Structure 1
Amino acid sequence: MTSIITGDIINSRRADHTDWMPTLKSVLDQYGKEPEAWEIYRGDSFQLEAPPEEALKIVIHLKASIRQFKGLDVRMAIGIGKKDYSMMKITESNGEAFVNSGHAFNKLNKKKTLSLRSPWPEIDEQLNLSIDLALLTMNGWQTNAAHYIKTVIEHPNWTQVQLAKNLNKSQSTVSESLNRAGFEDIMRLEKKYRKLVTNQ
């Protein structure tokens, strides 16, 4: 069982790709090697293979990374299932996870920017409802909050004091920004997702 994350950058043509592309590649690189585990295609679309239990954390990480750039966002779909056909390039591989990711991706729009499809319909219904509610907050992340969230995810062992120091901000500024961004509640959803998927 694996997961395939399919995504594309919203409003990519309004921004210089030399701003956001290195960040996108850097984040994808943290989860595997190109092109076996991830690939960027058509200029602003990408596909990444990851363990199913990690997928929601990864899409939160990717969303925060892209929303650092004013006016940009990212649409993503998580497909969970079997991988029947492995190639050197992820975009040439195939199987249930790829099909599920494609189906979920085709249902996305500018407001519904994240969706999930797995072999477990009851879990899909439960998690997609939770994701839709989380998007009411996530789609409003400001650039600073997005940068803070990206940093927290990349340095999970940092204390708030270390985080503030490395961001060159006061601890209260970082804390208030993360609270407004709903970070704690969104990570509670991530833990719930991880538990549900791991128990299947």
Structure 2
Amino acid sequence: MVAVLTGDIINSREGNVSQWLDILKATLDKYGQTPHQWEVFRGDSFQLVTTPKQALLAALHIKAAIKQNESYDVRIAIGLGEETHSAKKVAESNGTAYINSGEAFEALKKQTLAIKSDIPEWDQPLNIMFHLALLTANNWSSTVAKVILTVLEHPTKNQKDIAKLLGKSQSNISEALKRGGYEEIMQLNNYYQNQIIKL
């Protein structure tokens, strides 16, 4: 089983493409190599294939990276399933994971994150939880997004280390994580990872 993330940048036509494109590519690069595991296409769309366990964290990681600039956000659909054909380019690979990801992406209306597997009753509670988490995550300020991004990219560092990295006080870091609902979102990720085992 694999996870396929299909996404695009919200407000990509505003401002300058350089404000988000390099950041997006650098983030996707942490999950594999282009074009086999990820690709940016049609200007502001992208696809990433990763492990089901890593999928939600990858989506949140991309969101935090893009939201460092308050003009932008990202919509992402996670599709879980089989990969029946692995091509040199991710956009040419195939299987139920790709189909589920595409269908979930097409169904995104006002939501910016959704998941689809072959088991609708498995998807439903997770999508409700995602929607609740987005009430906070969609409102991350650039400061909060940068702190969350730094924590995600340095999982072994404590708040003191993160404060040093960003040139802020530890209380600033703590406050930003609280405002961004970081702890609750990590609880959601743990729950999601435990659910994956049941699929």
**TM-score range, shorter-chain basis?**
over 0.9
Secondary structure of 1:12 counterpart? coil
Q: Which runs of 5+ in 1 are unaligned?
A: none
Q: Per-residue displacement from partner, 1:54-99 (whole Å, max 9, x unpaired)?
A: 1000000000000101210000000000011111000011110000
TM-score by length of 2: 0.98
2:26 aligns with: 26
Once superposed, what is the RMSD of the aligned Cα atoms? 0.8
1:68 aligns with: 68
**Within-5 A mapping of 1:1-80:** 1-80=1-80
**2:48, 2:179 → 1: CA distance?**
29
Q: Percent identity?
A: 48
**How far did residue 199 of structure 1 move?**
3.1
Larger mean Cα displacement after TM superposition, 17-26 or 47-56: 17-26
**How far did residue 187 of structure 1 move?**
0.7
1:172 aligns with 2:171: yes
For 2:48, the aligned partner's letter is L
**2:47, 2:71 → 1: CA distance?**
22
Q: Runs in 1 of length 4+ with deviation above 6 angstroms?
A: none
2:161 aligns with: 162
**1:55, 1:87 → 2: CA distance?**
20
Q: Which runs of 5+ in 2 are unaligned?
A: none
1:105 aligns with: 105
For 1:49, the aligned partner's letter is V
For 1:146, the aligned partner's letter is A
Secondary structure of 2:76 counterpart? strand
Q: Per-residue displacement from partner, 1:88-116 (whole Å, max 9, x unpaired)?
A: 0000111100000011001113x300000
Q: Per-residue displacement from partner, 1:11-70 (whole Å, max 9, x unpaired)?
A: 011021112111100010000000000000001000000000110000000000001012
